[in-house]
Structure 1
Amino acid sequence: MAPAFMVSAPGKVIVFGEHAVVYGKPAMAATISLRSYLHVTTLSKSHRTVSLRFPDIDLDHTWDIETLPWDVFSAPSKKKYYYDRVTSLDQELVDAIKPHLSVVSPNASPDARKVHHASAFAFLYLYLSLGSPKSSACIYTLRSTLPVGAGLGSSASICVCLSTALLLQIRTLAGPHADQPSDESEVQLERINRWAFVGEMCIHGNPSGVDNTVSAGGKAVVYKREVSGRPPTVTPLRAFPELPLLLVNSRHPRSTGTQVAKVGALKEAHPTVTNQLLDAIHEVTDSAYKLLTSPDYNKDDPASLQYLGELIQINHGLLTSLGVSHPRLERIRELVDYAGIGWTKLTGAGGGGCAITILKPEADVEKVKGLMDQLDAEGFERFETTLGGDGVGVLWPAVLQNGTDEEGGEEIDQEKFLNAPDTAAIEDLVGVGVQEKRDGWKFWRPT
């Protein structure tokens, strides 16, 4: 049997360019160190089942491998290969999966069942596309430190994990390893990203592709929608610095569609002013891009960080002028500004959701503690994380040097992984985000 292994991929935030991106202007997205983790356990040959376990959303289902619709997926006109680019879902394949989704979580509430079916749909579509009837029996166990539905790319992170694990199992990925050439890393990440996008189509229907792209490749990207149905332009930003980040969830529900429609209505009522605001957001994104791609850019230069921080504040002010902020988001900004410890903006669609703060390196420790206490007291959810870190990573086999006395390291088995009670325990057990990079995890790192 193959050893148990793990895959991990990060979430993301929009750093610059929200809403302007809807109108063909660029946006910049970067990874955060909150991540999804996938543990893969291969069962003995006597088993012929595949299981998907996602305890964070109470999903646990097992399928009989032999009864899955392999005949439809392997038909000559339907069969896809690991190197193919899939840009739309095949309705015949979707229909073949539906009976195997209908048996998932039959007694769950309608809202929970919807989430379970979306996760199972993405998994089965990828599993059937990349696997075969001879695939080994396995248990795929997912855990995440990312809040779901907060605009942080949790579904894309999961799809990147699934895509990577399945491609590893059919032995179509090289690496990752420390001496891997950059162009080879690029090829592997593109392969992972193509199939992660297929998973995102299963969940969202018509995703932009930016979330899975930044989650797979890491660091940051500049994303621009093209006209006339052409694919979007995605430019990696390998020079994006790793920065300490305070991420605060307002806990106010948000609707991307509602906020996009609000800006659309404003643009119709006040076209000149609104277009100038959108153009100004474009200039902010472009200014950040020029700084980060300048040959003179130095990530350790305090002046560069100050410049990025000021752009963060300007971007937030422009988004507020578009009417997409919220009193809870403004309260977060107000508290951070009063403490004087960083630069804050809303991230994503607005109207609720999250705010990000790039922390000043010289921030007073007592003021930071006071801010954290105040955010807790006012019912905000906060995460001390890192901006601009690694993308998808692999731990093969699932063994870590976790400061234990266990010979050869600590084996992360399925039971230990499942029993981690919360996100902090997951980080303590296998985390590759906030903590120092642990011996064992490896990443594709193109330069």
Structure 2
Amino acid sequence: MTQRVSNGVGGLAHEQPDHVHLNGNGNSNSVANGTNGGVLTVRRKMDRKKSSPMMPAFMVSAPGKVIVFGEHAVVHGKAAIAAAISLRSYLLVTTLSKSKRTVTLRFPDIDFNHTWNIDDLPWSTFSHPSKKKYYYDLVTTVDPELVAAIQPFLADVSPHKDSHERKVHQNSAGSFLYMFLSLGSQSFPGCQYTLRSTIPIGAGLGSSATIAVCLSAALLLQLRTLSGPHPDQPPDEARLQIERINRWAFVYEMFIHGNPSGVDNTVSTQGKAVMFQRKDYGMPPSVRPLWDFPELPLLLVNTKTAKSTQHEVAKVARLKNTHPKLVGSILDAIDKVTESSHELIEEQDFDTENEECLRRVGELMTINHGLLVSLGVSHPRLERVRELVDHEGIGWTKLTGAGGGGCSITLLRPDVPRKKLDRLEEQLEEEGYQKFETTLGGDGVGVLWPAVIRNGMDEDEEGGMEIDLENFLKAEGNEGVEKLVGVHGGGGEREGWKFWRVES
């Protein structure tokens, strides 16, 4: 049996036999020396308690997602395509001094802040031989006994909030503690996890999954069970790392949602896009990564109209029961649109700069939207966005997700005049919409280690702008967060951010 360890971000994980003990630097203490004096010196060094310097503050980021093709049809056994968007969550991980034995979860965007004493947490329950999990395990269910052990530590979370807010905060706290206790140990250093997000909450954009992915990656990095990400990482190794992060992000999602599809956390972890299909609700869905999915220019508009996925899904189910053949044919047509879009994007000569290629994808989006309208899942606010976009000739629009409110996505025509986009933005703002210019099909989980933005400096140069807790908390709104730590920060990709990238 071997123990897998790594020298942290950018280092290559390697195998160590269990009988070799590692010191704080990851070096073997099994030393051969020909002289007694040398052995004695080594022993004295070994007897000294090794100082373990604090891990530098680092940052993890993960993207939200949209469903591009196949909404509602996917509920009835058809395929759908979901893709990452460049709106992201950002998690700053700060290690505390040795004397501070606390762990803090802080999400200022939802006014959530809670601290636990590490030594008071139910480690004995989670470390029992029948319950203990390891970073490489596949966890497919949440253990009711472990959930019960966490409950006393959620009782004093956000006691002065209303019932809805408190439930959200307790869900976040509970799922974090479940992961923290499963992966960590009582010797884990005191830490603060602070999360900011540019993703609207409750809009069907996978905001919960981005938190899951950020926390999963952060904990695995702290445990030194991930190698990379680094530019020369072999694809197979990158896939393994991505899968490890994704598995534990799914545990977080299971704690909150019970039986999630796993699609949101998969897209958020690996980026790009996936094609997914669930033919049997007793089984997990088939999820096929689309590693070569192109980056496409996207306009995302939040209608700010509350939606209920459950209500819209039930509406389509009732319609199908009343008109089984007709609705069945509509769902089949949506499935054909999804299949056609996949074939189109996989064509060797598909070019995101080519207007004809974009037009063909855009037309498929328009058809998909029309079929969803025929199922009754659009909304006047969604149709108004489509009307405004069509009037300006800016691109091709469809609803994304369950409909009945929520968000729309528009594939932008190439070289749209800035004047037209500004005019549309003014109109949308006037009518109470929230608009984001984003990219479809970008990178998945990324790491900024240490939390320093290099701002054009060479990799070998020292220095850069350090991201500390104070300036992270002070960043105002989405623009402030993007300007301070954003992967794209108002321009191209920022120096310092690294991603696990896998291309077929």
Secondary structure at the residue paired with 1:245? strand
Paired with 1:146 and 1:348, the residues of 2 have a C-alpha distance of 15
Paired with 2:353 and 2:479, the residues of 1 have a C-alpha distance of 30
From 162, 179, 189, the equivalent of 1:109 is: 162
Secondary structure at the residue paired with 1:47? coil
Paired with 1:417 and 1:122, the residues of 2 have a C-alpha distance of 24
Q: Output aligned runs, 1:154-303, within 5 Å.
A: 154-227=207-280, 229-303=282-356
The alignment's C-alpha RMSD in Å is 1.3
- Structure 1 residue aligned with 2:44: none
From 465, 483, 486, the equivalent of 1:410 is: 465
Paired with 1:90 and 1:413, the residues of 2 have a C-alpha distance of 36
Secondary structure at the residue paired with 1:14? strand
| Amino acid across the alignment from 1:420 | A
Paired with 1:436 and 1:110, the residues of 2 have a C-alpha distance of 42
Indicate yes or no: 2:470 matched with 1:445.
no
| Amino acid across the alignment from 2:497 | W
Secondary structure at the residue paired with 1:160? helix
| Amino acid across the alignment from 1:10 | P
From 44, 51, 58, the equivalent of 1:5 is: 58
- Structure 2 residue aligned with 1:147: 200
Paired with 2:286 and 2:354, the residues of 1 have a C-alpha distance of 30
Identity of aligned residues (%): 65
Q: Deviations over 1:380-410 (max 9, x none)?
A: 1111111111000000100012479x96000
Paired with 1:53 and 1:228, the residues of 2 have a C-alpha distance of 35
- 1:237 is displaced (CA, Å) by 1.1
Paired with 1:298 and 1:385, the residues of 2 have a C-alpha distance of 18
Q: Deviations over 1:61-96 (max 9, x none)?
A: 100000100001000000011111111100000000
- 1:414 is displaced (CA, Å) by 1.1
Unmatched 5+ residue regions in structure 2?
A: 1-53
Indicate yes or no: 2:104 matched with 1:48.
no
- 1:205 is displaced (CA, Å) by 1.3
- Structure 2 residue aligned with 1:365: 418
> Which is worse superposed, 228-237 or 22-31?
228-237
CA contact (8 A) 1:12 1:211 kept: yes
Q: Deviations over 1:420-445 (max 9, x none)?
A: 12111000000014631111000000
Indicate yes or no: 2:87 matched with 1:31.
no
CA contact (8 A) 1:8 1:36 kept: yes
- Structure 2 residue aligned with 1:327: 380
Larger Rg: 2
- 1:229 is displaced (CA, Å) by 2.2
- Structure 2 residue aligned with 1:395: 448
| Amino acid across the alignment from 2:494 | R
- Structure 2 residue aligned with 1:419: 474
- Structure 2 residue aligned with 1:66: 119
> Which is worse superposed, 233-242 or 52-61?
233-242
| Amino acid across the alignment from 2:65 | K
CA contact (8 A) 1:5 1:41 kept: yes
Paired with 1:410 and 1:365, the residues of 2 have a C-alpha distance of 32
CA contact (8 A) 2:66 2:401 kept: yes
- Structure 1 residue aligned with 2:24: none
Paired with 1:103 and 1:403, the residues of 2 have a C-alpha distance of 45
- Structure 2 residue aligned with 1:345: 398
Paired with 1:226 and 1:74, the residues of 2 have a C-alpha distance of 37
Secondary structure at the residue paired with 1:264? helix
Q: TM-score, normalised by structure 1?
A: 0.98
CA contact (8 A) 1:216 1:392 kept: yes
> Which is worse superposed, 101-110 or 129-138?
101-110
Q: Deviations over 1:33-73 (max 9, x none)?
A: 11000000001111100000110011111000001000010
Indicate yes or no: 2:403 matched with 1:354.
no
Paired with 1:194 and 1:226, the residues of 2 have a C-alpha distance of 22
Secondary structure at the residue paired with 1:350? coil
- 1:234 is displaced (CA, Å) by 0.9
- 1:300 is displaced (CA, Å) by 3.3
Indicate yes or no: 2:487 matched with 1:432.
yes
Q: TM-score, normalised by structure 2?
A: 0.87
Paired with 1:315 and 1:49, the residues of 2 have a C-alpha distance of 50
| Amino acid across the alignment from 2:133 | K
- Structure 1 residue aligned with 2:21: none
Paired with 1:131 and 1:339, the residues of 2 have a C-alpha distance of 54
Paired with 1:377 and 1:295, the residues of 2 have a C-alpha distance of 42
- 1:374 is displaced (CA, Å) by 0.7
- 1:228 is displaced (CA, Å) by 6.2
Secondary structure at the residue paired with 1:370? helix
Secondary structure at the residue paired with 1:51? strand
Paired with 1:296 and 1:158, the residues of 2 have a C-alpha distance of 36
Secondary structure at the residue paired with 2:64? strand
- 1:231 is displaced (CA, Å) by 2.2
Paired with 2:185 and 2:377, the residues of 1 have a C-alpha distance of 47
Secondary structure at the residue paired with 1:41? strand
> Which is worse superposed, 268-277 or 298-307?
298-307
Q: Deviations over 1:242-261 (max 9, x none)?
A: 11111101111000000000
CA contact (8 A) 2:296 2:352 kept: no
Paired with 1:391 and 1:92, the residues of 2 have a C-alpha distance of 33
Secondary structure at the residue paired with 2:114? strand
Paired with 2:398 and 2:183, the residues of 1 have a C-alpha distance of 40
- 1:225 is displaced (CA, Å) by 0.8
Secondary structure at the residue paired with 2:188? coil
Using a 3 Å threshold, how does the CA distance of structure 1 residues 43 and 228 change in structure 2: closer, same or farther? closer
| Amino acid across the alignment from 1:193 | N
CA contact (8 A) 1:150 1:354 kept: yes
Paired with 1:21 and 1:407, the residues of 2 have a C-alpha distance of 50
CA contact (8 A) 1:402 1:429 kept: no
- Structure 2 residue aligned with 1:121: 174
| Amino acid across the alignment from 1:58 | D
Secondary structure at the residue paired with 1:389? coil
Paired with 2:476 and 2:487, the residues of 1 have a C-alpha distance of 18
